[in-house]
């Protein structure tokens, strides 16, 4: 069976009190809409249509050609939103999934089970429902004696006895596309809100002798919609918990899962230990047997097996195996660190490569440079890569010793085995095995203290 999805994302999200579209607010490192797309794509949808309101340009800028777009210029209800996508639905012979764009907790496994149920039971329509102890605010599910769904009654239109029903509509539908198109032609705004309710398709399908069933979700949290920042935080908490549990079951130790923030699509190898206050963003790759100490932020970075990171920031950088990073190191984009390296406290590396076994221990800036293997970089070394207009690159060969407080005025090339004395300002290239010293000769004046007046 083939599927397409229609994701309803035209809501204004006024309770978010934000200029940003509600569905683009992030929960656990991914926009709400991204979580919904991930869920529906679990059944390998043929295409995904996002129904947008005024934020169509903002959503298009985020998702580009990865989805198709329909615009709902007027807010006339959920049925009207699907009507706006009609041009994308014509000629399709499978099932259409209709999902609210603010349901980030919906799982791909639930969508798969729901669609399997729809095709296995030969249903014209299947609704995702939840059983709630406090159903106020939700549309109630009205079943007939055989257990099929007769209607969905919205809260504002429900009779007092209908409001006692605990089974509610979760705003997720799986409908035969040809059936859906016929129903859209017959929707009417004859209700308290004077809107086109998508829920009315249930009665229309029943009038035509079709089969409408409900699929009850196992975890009611999946039906949580996000309408304000409080609900956004709650959704993010649940998503982070799911992510952390999956990593722990995969062999990762989280000292305090509640204070560990891991974005989706992050890989962490077995036997890695992560301490409280660590943030892993944008699909990091952490090797096995690593130790990430408190206060580290690692974003879009790769950390090799056996490496230790202490209280440091790694942004779009790559660190090899069995390295020591930090405390308080800052690895900026374009940084590639080899194996068995030491990048110490208050070291900043930007757009540079550092070879195996090289030690950059403390208080140093390495920018736009290529360092070879087994180099010792002393304290307070600065690669001076910018002349106020342009940036320049330097190259340092293997087995070089760079003394403390050295300034390398880029571009310079330093040959293998060279030795640069502490305090040198290096302006010229150095051949292999050479020695450079470039500092003012010391002058000592005796009895000077007494002559200061």
CB 95 within 8 A of CB 175: yes
In the block, tokens 């030491």 appear at 342
Contacts of residue 57, Cβ cutoff 8 Å, sequence gap at least 6: none
Tens digit of pLDDT at every position of the chain (453 positions): 899 999 999 988 899 999 999 999 999 999 999 999 999 999 999 999 999 999 999 999 999 999 999 999 998 999 999 999 999 999 999 999 999 999 999 999 999 999 999 999 999 999 999 999 989 888 899 999 999 999 998 888 889 899 999 999 999 999 999 999 999 999 998 877 788 989 999 999 999 999 999 999 999 999 999 999 999 999 999 999 999 999 999 999 999 999 999 999 999 999 999 999 999 999 999 999 999 999 999 999 999 999 999 999 999 999 999 999 999 999 999 999 999 999 999 999 999 999 999 999 999 999 999 999 999 999 999 999 999 999 999 999 999 999 999 999 999 999 999 999 999 999 999 999 999 999 888 888 888 766 665
- Taking only Cα atoms into account, the Rg of the chain, rounded to an integer number of angstroms, comes to 31
DSSP-assigned letter for residue 15: G
- Secondary structure of residue 239 in the 3-state scheme: helix
Q: For domain 3-223, give the CATH number.
A: 3.90.550.10
pLDDT, residue 453, reads 56
- CA–CA separation, 14 vs 403, rounded Å? 59
Hey, which bits of 255-393 come out as E strands?
261-262, 267-268, 273-274, 279-281, 285-286, 291-292, 297-299, 302-303, 308-309, 313-315, 318-319, 324-325, 330-331, 336-337, 342-350, 353-354, 359-367, 369-371, 376-377, 382-384
Residue 267 has φ and ψ, to the nearest 5°, of -105, 135
Residue 402 has φ and ψ, to the nearest 5°, of -115, 115
Helix runs in 145-200, H state only = 177-184
Where are the domains positioned within the chain? 3-223, 253-436
pLDDT, residue 193, reads 78
Q: What angle do CA 61, 65, 70 make, to 5 degrees?
A: 80
Fold designation for 253-436: UDP N-Acetylglucosamine Acyltransferase; domain 1 (2.160.10)
Taken as a whole, the chain contains a residue count of: 453
CA 332 to chain CA centroid, nearest Å: 19
pLDDT, residue 11, reads 87
- CA–CA separation, 293 vs 438, rounded Å? 40
- Secondary structure of residue 14 in the 3-state scheme: helix
Residue 228 has φ and ψ, to the nearest 5°, of -150, 180
CB 197 within 8 A of CB 183: no
Write down the catalytic residue from 80, 88, 247, 362: 362
CB 99 within 8 A of CB 85: no
DSSP-assigned letter for residue 74: S
In the block, tokens 């990430």 appear at 292
- Secondary structure of residue 132 in the 3-state scheme: coil
pLDDT, residue 443, reads 86
pLDDT, residue 190, reads 81
- CA–CA separation, 215 vs 192, rounded Å? 28
- The angle, 0 to 180 degrees and rounded to 10, between the axes of the packed helices 229-249 and 32-40 is 50
Contacts of residue 52, Cβ cutoff 8 Å, sequence gap at least 6: 9, 10, 21, 59, 60, 69, 70, 71, 72
Does the annotation mark 362 as catalytic? yes
Residue 259 has φ and ψ, to the nearest 5°, of -115, 25
Distances in Å between the Cα of 396 and the Cα atoms of 20, 22, 351, 383, 421 are: 47, 50, 15, 11, 15
């Amino acid at each position: 069976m083939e599927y397409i999805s229609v994701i309803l994302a035209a809501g204004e999200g006024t309770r978010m009190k934000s200029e940003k579209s509600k569905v683009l607010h992030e929960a656990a490192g991914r926009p709400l809409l991204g979580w919904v797309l991930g869920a529906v794509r679990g059944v390998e949808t043929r295409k995904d249509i996002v129904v947008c309101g005024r934020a169509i340009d903002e959503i298009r800028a985020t998702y580009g050609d990865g989805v198709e777009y329909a615009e709902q210029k007027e807010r006339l209800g959920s049925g009207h939103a699907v009507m706006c996508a009609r041009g994308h639905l014509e000629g399709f012979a499978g099932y259409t999934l209709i999902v609210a764009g603010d349901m980030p907790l919906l799982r791909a496994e639930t969508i798969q089970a729901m669609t399997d149920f729809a095709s296995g039971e030969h249903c014209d329509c299947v609704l995702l429902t939840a059983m709630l102890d406090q159903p106020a605010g939700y549309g109630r599910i009205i079943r007939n004696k055989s257990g099929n769904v007769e209607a969905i009654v919205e809260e504002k239109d429900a009779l007092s006895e209908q409001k006692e029903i605990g089974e509610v509509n979760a705003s997720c539908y799986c409908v035969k596309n040809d059936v859906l198109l016929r129903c859209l032609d017959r929707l009417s705004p004859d209700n308290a809100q004077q809107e086109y309710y998508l829920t009315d398709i249930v009665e229309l399908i029943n009038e035509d002798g079709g089969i409408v069933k409900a699929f009850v979700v196992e975890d009611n949290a999946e039906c949580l919609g996000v309408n304000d920042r409080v609900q956004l935080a709650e959704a993010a908490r649940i998503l982070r918990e799911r992510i952390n549990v999956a990593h722990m079951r995969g062999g990762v130790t989280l000292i305090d899962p509640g204070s560990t923030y891991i974005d989706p699509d992050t890989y962490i190898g077995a036997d890695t230990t992560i301490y409280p206050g660590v943030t892993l963003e944008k699909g990091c790759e952490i090797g096995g047997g690593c130790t990430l100490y408190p206060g580290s932020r690692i974003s879009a970075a790769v950390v090799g097996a056996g490496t230790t990171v202490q209280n440091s920031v790694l942004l779009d950088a790559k660190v090899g195996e069995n390295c020591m990073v930090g405390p308080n190191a800052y690895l900026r984009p374009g940084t590639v660190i080899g194996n068995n390296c030491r990048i110490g406290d208050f070291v900043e590396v930007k757009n540079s490569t550092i070879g195996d076994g090289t030690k950059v221990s403390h208080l140093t800036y390495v920018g736009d440079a290529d360092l070879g293997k087994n180099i010792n970089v002393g304290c307070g070394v600065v690669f001076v890569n910018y002349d106020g207009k342009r940036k320049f690159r330097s190259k340092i060969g293997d087995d070089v010793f760079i003394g403390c407080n050295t300034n390398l005025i880029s571009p310079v090339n330093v040959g293998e085995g060279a030795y640069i004395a502490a305090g040198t300002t290096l302006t010229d290239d150095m051949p292999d095995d050479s020695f450079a010293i470039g500092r003012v000769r010391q002058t000592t004046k005796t009895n000077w203290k007494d002559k200061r007046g």
